[in-house]
């Protein structure tokens, strides 16, 4: 029986603020603990902890029976999930947490482009194409780094590019889930695929790159991995899926754009990161573009209201 989803209310807004705070501080935690534990090891550790918890949850509530029909899509989604966190891990060693927070959340742009070509029922509308154009202009402006190419910080530029690739990987993961048998699978099983495949893949990368030895069991290192594994990957993701089953996705998508704003704020306040004017302008364009793409119906209603149309 289908569940009737309703518009977001005050309760949904409060929960989304909490989730966005958690997601926004995630990149800051990874960068803060990077001197004690390699970011790729943090990603592997968080995925392993969360995979264990989600696996136990599936054993309790059921869901394993669909493995036979979903494992191919699950492996692909898991590989893309691991790739996303590899790009995040490597990118945070080159750029700021604030930059990563914005570029990572270009994911809806890549999701929209993917489903446009794979799912005829979800073709992009003119307002969404405008949003995509605005987002890519914003990325270009944020990448610019100054009025002269001589002023570019090439190390940061590479880190920013990895942030966009992380967003593309996240977007591709969503497309795989939407276009495969995973779309009808329990969310716990879909999440388990991503976590367990990501854990194995990231652990192998850490092993072969020598980063597996970059681990110091400090309070900061343990706190970062446990926070990401228990709070981010387990609690917040399952809460997000719970909200999606009860509220309209477009409403929640608008609220979720608080995440990069929190990420930028935490980066500036906690890590003393500096923001250039071009990055601020570019970030605003990116967020506006993503809003147009992800909440197209909401945007159209607002535009009609502003123009005095019914």
> Which range scores top for mean pLDDT: 47-56, 104-113, 145-154, 272-281?
47-56
Residue % of the chain over a pLDDT of 90:
45
Global pTM?
A: 0.86
Burial label for 126, CB within 10 Å (0-12, 13-18, 19+), is: exposed
Distances (CA, A) of 233 to 52, 69, 121, 129, 260: 11, 25, 31, 31, 17
| Region for residue 272 given its phi and psi (left: phi exceeds 0; alpha: psi -120 to 50; beta: otherwise) | left
Report residue 22 CA to chain centroid gap. 12
Report domain extents, the chain: 29-306
305 or 155, higher pLDDT: 155
Which of the four pLDDT bands, split at 50, 70 and 90, describes residue 147? very low
Q: What is the per-residue pLDDT across 159-179, written as a single tens digit (0 to 9) for each?
A: 999 999 999 999 899 889 888
Q: Are the C-beta atoms of residues 158 and 212 closer than 8 Å to each other?
A: no
Any idea which of 15-24, 41-50, 159-168, 277-286 has the lowest mean pLDDT? 277-286
Q: Please tell me the predicted confidence (pLDDT) of residue 1.
A: 42
Q: Which token pair is 22? A: 């958690």
In terms of Cβ atoms closer than 10 Å to its own Cβ (0-12, 13-18, 19+), residue 56 is: exposed
Mean pLDDT along residues 51-67: 93
CA distance 297 to 249: 11
- Cβ contacts of residue 72 below 8 Å, gap of 6+? 180
**pLDDT tens string 84-136:** 999 999 999 999 999 999 999 888 888 888 888 887 777 878 888 888 888 88
**Percent of the chain scoring above 70 in pLDDT:** 87
CA separation, residue 285 to residues 95, 255, 256, 289, 303 (Å): 20, 17, 16, 6, 18
Instruction: Render pLDDT for 261-281 as a digit per residue (tens, 0 to 9).
Output: 898 989 988 889 888 888 888
């Amino acid at each position: 029986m289908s569940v009737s989803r309703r518009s977001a209310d005050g309760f949904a807004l409060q929960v989304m603020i909490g989730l966005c705070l958690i997601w926004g501080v995630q990149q800051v935690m990874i960068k803060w603990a990077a001197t004690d534990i390699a970011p790729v090891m943090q990603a592997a550790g968080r995925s392993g902890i969360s995979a264990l918890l989600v696996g136990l949850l599936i054993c309790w509530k059921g869901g394993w029976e669909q493995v036979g029909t979903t494992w191919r899509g699950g492996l692909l989604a898991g590989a893309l999930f691991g790739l996303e966190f590899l790009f995040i891990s490597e990118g945070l060693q080159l750029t700021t947490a604030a930059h990563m927070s914005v570029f990572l959340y270009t994911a809806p742009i890549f999701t929209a482009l993917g489903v446009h070509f794979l799912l005829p029922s979800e073709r992009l509308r003119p307002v969404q194409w405008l949003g995509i154009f605005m987002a890519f202009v914003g990325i270009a402006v944020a990448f610019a780094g100054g009025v002269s190419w001589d002023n570019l910080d090439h190390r940061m530029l590479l880190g920013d590019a990895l942030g966009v690739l992380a967003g593309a990987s996240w977007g591709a993961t969503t497309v795989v889930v939407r276009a495969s048998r995973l779309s009808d699978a329990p969310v716990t099983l879909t999440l388990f695929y991503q976590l367990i495949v990501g854990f194995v893949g990231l652990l192998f990368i850490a092993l072969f790159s020598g980063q597996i030895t970059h681990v110091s069991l400090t309070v900061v290192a343990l706190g970062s991995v446990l926070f990401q594994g228990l709070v981010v990957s387990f609690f917040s993701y399952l809460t997000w899926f719970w909200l999606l089953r009860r509220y309209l996705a477009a409403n929640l998508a608008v609220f979720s754009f608080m995440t990069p704003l929190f990420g930028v704020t935490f980066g500036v306040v906690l890590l003393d990161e500096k923001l250039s004017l071009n990055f601020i302008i570019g970030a605003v364009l990116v967020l506006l573009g993503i809003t147009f793409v992800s909440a197209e119906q909401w945007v159209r209603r607002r535009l009609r209201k502003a123009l005095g149309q019914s």
